[in-house]
Chains A and B, each alone.
Chain A
Amino acid sequence: MRKSHPIIKALALFTVWFLYLPLLGVAVCSVNTAKGGWVWKGFTLDWYFKLLDNEWILNSAWNTLELAVVSTAIATLLGTILAIGISRFPWGRKTNSFLNTMLNIPVVIPDIIMAGSLVVVFGILREVSSIFDMGMIDMIIGHVTFQIAFVALVVRSRLALIGQDVEEAGRDLFASNWYLMRKVMLPLMMPGIVAGAMLAFTLSLDDFVLSFFLSGPDSQTLPLFIYAAVRRGVTPEIHALSTLVVLITVILVVGAERFSKKEIA
């Protein structure tokens, strides 16, 4: 291992502080008794307890979770089947490049453009059916659309690791289609499917732009709630809520790392 130069070390530490100082500031404010302003007045956890009384916040939290769970479930199912379709059949070169493009568009396209185009489409579909009124269904569809690609990419790279010979060995040992799928392919794909689902779930929790464009009056999510509140003026409750969200992110990240480490080991 190489020791890094003191200047490099100093720059690196500065950068990490640069990333965390704002968040630490918010965390400090969330336990500050001062109702407004940024001056330290004393320690309290009141703001956290107040969150539990705020129906708006609880509602937003519920919406966030519902959106993430439903969209992740749909995207994981569709993305996994798509990944199998892409990598387990002898497609020609043209089909393969078409499929690659389809997977890459949602990954590279700016989310604001995707959101804008969906606003237009749902605007037109609304004339046909009120299902497409701004709200949860639109948001779920929007989230699934970018999640599918991420799930399919992750599962596909996992499938590439499962050699053809393992599949053939299963056949050679008398496995029928269904038995092979259940006993060999699915268990071997599972780490990829779980990783893809976790990625999709996090992307959904993290999304602001699509939800912002597609949400209706009853489908506020936490990021939308925080955004709206911040524009009105920050309050200690918002600091407390944000700090909680960051803590949940930490737990998810550490959990995901544990999971992937276990899979590699």
Chain B
Amino acid sequence: MDTHKDKNLTIKNMVKTFGKVEVLKTVNQEVRAGEFFTLLGPSGCGKTTLLRIIAGLEIPTSGSVILGNDDITSLPANKRHVNMVFQSYALFPHLTIYENIAFGLRSRKINADEIKRRVNEGIEMLRLETLKDRMPDQLSGGQKQRVSLARALVNEPDILLLDEPMSALDAKLRAQVQEELRRLQRKLGTTFIMVTHDQDEALVCSDRIAVMNEGQIVQCGTPEEVYDYPCNKFVAEFLGAANMLKAKRVDGGVETELGFFALDKIPDWNEGLVTIRPEWVKISENKPDHNGVLATVEDSVYRGTNFDLFLSPGNLRVRTSSYKHFRTGDKIWIELTASDLVALGD
């Protein structure tokens, strides 16, 4: 039982060109069975193309898709045990919700009792009981999304693909759906591969994130890894606010316009960038022992849960808890802790 859940997905030397445009440039990636894997990147980075190749809706120019032990590169979508939640949901407008969900089972000619059982299971799992006789155009965006999920999941796919599943939802609903989606994936243990350009979505849902840019996977790791230890400037900035400092390597650390900073991990370059997230910059009354800078508050922005302070020199952004009040012109000591300062690669 559940053998399909043991299948890893391997993308090997994947290249895809459309005419003269190279959309994917040699992508190699493994997705482990049962994980929630996210392809994160700006629009045009090739993430959707990669997803469509996995779905069987595009054929790569070269390279292969291997599921378990089978090479499925040239199998069309209707022959692969992989299902997709489309960005537009792509529900069949002429079929009821029930028939939409049953579509995949019916086209495989599964027997009627089995179809009934599995569709009802899907309906229950995604709380669609009251909607099953409605038509798609009578549903809200969130409801359509759940139908689309049910329609894919009742087929018990080896992999569920999600193409920007939340782009059509409003911000409030999105936060709620992110958590639900994660819980659902944990419960089912099915491999989920999601494409998104929204870093929050990626961080909340995923076991692992692959950050893509210009047709390549730049960094792949757990949310903590990619957020805390971005490998380059692109990843650091794409995943959230980041302070960038130009630096030169010296003994035990780096020299910047703000002075010397000790680093835990000494970079392998001579000149480059170091970064620190705004919320990791520590503020103290007195001069810290290491990595301290005396800064002036240039501006202070209230954001509800915290303040964002903009400091000179260096145009640093610092995030503080909201009960601490600072005014423009205040002088404060800050500390850029050696363990939180990350040296970036190219």
Direct contact of A and B (CB under 8 A): yes
Binding site for B on A (CB under 8 A): 163, 165-166, 168-176, 179, 183-184, 187-188
**Complex CA distance for A245 and B241, rounded to whole angstroms:** 74
Is B86 part of the contact surface with A, judged by Cβ < 8 Å? Answer: yes
Is B84 part of the contact surface with A, judged by Cβ < 8 Å? Answer: yes
- Contact A179 B107, CB 8 Å, known A166-B92, A187-B94: yes
**Complex CA distance for A171 and B84, rounded to whole angstroms:** 10
- Beyond the given A163-B88, A170-B92, A174-B107, could you list 14 further A-B residue pairs with CB under 8 A, ordered by the A residue number? A165-B87, A165-B88, A168-B77, A169-B84, A169-B86, A169-B92, A171-B78, A172-B55, A172-B78, A173-B78, A176-B107, A183-B106, A184-B92, A188-B92
Q: Which residues 66-80 of B sit at the A interface, judged by CB distance below 8 A? A: 76-79
10 A–B pairs (Cβ distance < 8 Å), ordered by A: A168-B77, A168-B90, A170-B92, A171-B57, A171-B78, A172-B77, A172-B152, A174-B78, A174-B104, A188-B93
Q: Report the minimum CB–CB distance from A166 to chain B (whole Å).
A: 5
Q: Report the minimum CB–CB distance from B194 to chain A (whole Å).
A: 16
Beta-carbon contact of A183 and B57 below 8 Å: no
**Complex CA distance for A52 and B83, rounded to whole angstroms:** 63
**Complex CA distance for A171 and B55, rounded to whole angstroms:** 10
Binding site for A on B (CB under 8 A): 55-57, 76-79, 82-84, 86-88, 90-94, 103-104, 106-108, 151-152, 155
**Complex CA distance for A176 and B84, rounded to whole angstroms:** 17
**Complex CA distance for A188 and B90, rounded to whole angstroms:** 13
Beta-carbon contact of A183 and B90 below 8 Å: no
Question: Which one of A165, A168, A174, A183 has the highest number of Cβ atoms from chain B below 10 Å of its Cβ?
Answer: A174
**Complex CA distance for A29 and B307, rounded to whole angstroms:** 87
Q: Report the minimum CB–CB distance from B151 to chain A (whole Å).
A: 7
Nearest-neighbor residue (CB-CB) of A265 within chain B:
B137
**Complex CA distance for A174 and B83, rounded to whole angstroms:** 9
On chain B, the residues within 8 Å of A175 by CB distance are 78, 103, 107
**Complex CA distance for A170 and B91, rounded to whole angstroms:** 9
On chain A, the residues within 8 Å of B91 by CB distance are 169
- Contact A173 B83, CB 8 Å, known A168-B57, A168-B77, A179-B107: yes
- Contact A172 B92, CB 8 Å, known A165-B86, A179-B107, A183-B107: no
**Complex CA distance for A226 and B151, rounded to whole angstroms:** 59
Beta-carbon contact of B94 and A172 below 8 Å: no
On chain B, the residues within 8 Å of A170 by CB distance are 92, 103, 107
Beta-carbon contact of B93 and A172 below 8 Å: no
On chain A, the residues within 8 Å of B94 by CB distance are 187-188
Beta-carbon contact of B90 and A163 below 8 Å: yes
On chain B, the residues within 8 Å of A184 by CB distance are 92
Nearest-neighbor residue (CB-CB) of B154 within chain A:
A173
- Contact A173 B151, CB 8 Å, known A168-B57, A183-B107: yes
On chain A, the residues within 8 Å of B86 by CB distance are 165, 168-169
**Complex CA distance for A152 and B90, rounded to whole angstroms:** 25
Q: Report the minimum CB–CB distance from A173 to chain B (whole Å).
A: 4
On chain A, the residues within 8 Å of B55 by CB distance are 172
Q: Report the minimum CB–CB distance from B191 to chain A (whole Å).
A: 16
Q: Report the minimum CB–CB distance from A185 to chain B (whole Å).
A: 10
Beta-carbon contact of B90 and A166 below 8 Å: yes
Q: Report the minimum CB–CB distance from A61 to chain B (whole Å).
A: 37
On chain B, the residues within 8 Å of A187 by CB distance are 94
- Contact A171 B77, CB 8 Å, known A163-B88, A183-B107: yes
**Complex CA distance for A184 and B104, rounded to whole angstroms:** 12
Beta-carbon contact of B88 and A173 below 8 Å: no
